Amino acid sequence: MKAAWGLGFKKIYDSEVRDVIDKGVHEVLKNLGPTPMDFEVERILRMGACGTRGYRTYAEDAYRRLGVSQKTMKSDLRRHSMPTVAKLLAWGHLIPVLGLKRPNPRLSQTGSLDKLSIHWGFDSGGSISSKCKEYAGVYPSAIKGGVTDLAKRLVSYWRKE
């Protein structure tokens, strides 16, 4: 897909990154529980995760790629007690960043996140931290179990809201 189309989807060639995204999406779906919306939720999470390498996926892009109207998708997700498209995209955006996060002992926590932010399309390390706090209820330093821990925190924090 061409980035100029605004679809926000880019193929991930790195097998380690693909594995992290696959595991993260699977863990989120497992924590959400089975619903008739699993296919759509999985695609939205993947759009969020894969649209982060230089391009950003927005809710309008997801509606267009799924071929449904905004009104229909919102009502279907609400009916099946699923998060909004914007929230699912944000979760997908966090999966590869925090799943691949490797603390660098020579850098501060913020310095490590700044390096990640450049690679994954965030404005700064602080934006990763604030997005993690907003959607998971904790800062990245509290996520010790990779995408498994992240998925649990995302879903449980969303259910508390």
Domain ranges within the chain, ordered by starting residue: 3-160
**Helices 109-120, 125-136: inter-axial angle, 10-degree rounding:** 90
pLDDT at residue 1, as a whole number: 31
Mean pLDDT of 29-48: 93
pLDDT at residue 31, as a whole number: 96
Tokens 């907003």 label which residue?
Answer: 134
pLDDT at residue 110, as a whole number: 52
Q: Where are the beta strands (DSSP E) in the chain?
A: none
pLDDT at residue 94, as a whole number: 92
- Reply yes or no on whether the pLDDT at 133 is more than 90: yes
Mean pLDDT of 107-133: 76
Residue 111 backbone dihedrals phi, psi, to 5 degrees: -65, -40
Mean pLDDT of 87-109: 75
- 3-state secondary structure (DSSP) of residue 10: coil
Mean pLDDT of 19-44: 94
